[in-house]
Amino acid sequence: MASEAFTADSAHVARIRPAVNFNSRRNVAGPDILLLHYTGMNGGKAAEDWLCCQESCVSCHYIIHENGEIVQMVREGARAFHAGEGTWEGRGDVNSRSIGIEIVNDGHGEDGSLPPPFLKAQMKAVARLAADIIVRHAIAPFRVLAHSDTAPGRKIDPGEGFDWNYLAGEGIGWVAEPDPKSLENIAEALVEYGYGVGATAENLAAAITAFQRHFRPSKVDGLVDHETSQALASLLARRRAHQGLAGYG
């Protein structure tokens, strides 16, 4: 599909650079997931160029540069190609359900080293844009996600160095809190929260790792320990309460 001219969906957009890889959302009334990524490339210009070229077969709705500049590439009403294969809450085609924000960052090293720190200007821009999107689309806190949440074992961005605590302090998404409960079945609990958990032990470990990368980043090992169990228990309790109050499905 050729690029199209459009008006920015958010007042926080500094400029528009239309991407070419997008199509229509499928079988949804509108987006109900906000999905955060890192670009995993060397510098913002290269990432922006890649997200806008047809050969890449990818795109996103927004990219946020190191200095906090917000660039929109696909209108929110369209389906951008940022999520790939993945699921959340037992449903696939995450692209149709989500708005994707790419944050310029080199990403994890080939040796598994952590990404460089996300810059303060970037995090402030993420918070401004995310808050605007969440309000306009009534996106629930348990649907503010990392790419790794929807594709355990395949994707690891934006990584355990991303400042989810800062976003939660700005009212965007959740962080886990200590909970006295201990879960009897970690697989069932992960599925209830939204993760895709396969039938094998390897798939379960990938889902646990993805959960830890988002909600317990101090130790990401794919193993069930008391702290991981407590974190998931606290988030499940919040999700159940939120659904009961707000009627989210």
- The domain locations on the chain are 1-173, 176-249
Output the CA angle 186-189-193, nearest 5 degrees. Answer: 140
Find all residues with CB under 8 Å of 85, minimum gap 6, and list them: 92, 151, 154
pLDDT in the model for residue 210: 97
Q: Which residues pair with 101 in a beta bridge?
A: 36, 62
pTM above 0.85, yes or no: yes
Distances (CA, A) of 38 to 171, 184, 197: 21, 34, 23
Token output for 36: 């955060």
Separation CA 39–CA 43 (nearest Å): 9
Residues of the chain with pLDDT under 70: 1-2, 199, 245-249
Q: How high is the pLDDT of residue 30?
A: 95
> Quick one: pLDDT at residue 245?
58
The answer to whether domain 1-173 and domain 176-249 are alike in fold is: no
Radius of gyration of the chain (CA): 17
Q: Give the pLDDT confidence score for residue 238 in this predicted structure.
A: 94
What is the CATH superfamily name and number for domain 176-249? PGBD-like superfamily/PGBD (1.10.101.10)
Cβ atoms of 233 and 183 closer than 8 Å: yes
Q: What are phi and psi of 36, to 5 degrees?
A: -105, 140
Q: Which of 93, 91, 87, 101 is nearest to 24 (CA)?
A: 93
pLDDT for 1: 63
pLDDT at 80: 98
What pLDDT score does 152 carry? 96
pLDDT digits over 192-235, tens only?
999 999 768 889 999 999 999 999 999 999 999 999 999 999 99
- Reported as type and span, the H/E element at residue 188 is helix 186-193
What was the pLDDT predicted at 246? 52
Q: In degrees, to the nearest 5, what angle opens at C-alpha 79 toward C-alphas 206 and 173?
A: 50
Q: Which CATH number fits domain 1-173: 3.40.50.1820, 3.40.50.880, 3.40.80.10, 3.20.20.480?
A: 3.40.80.10
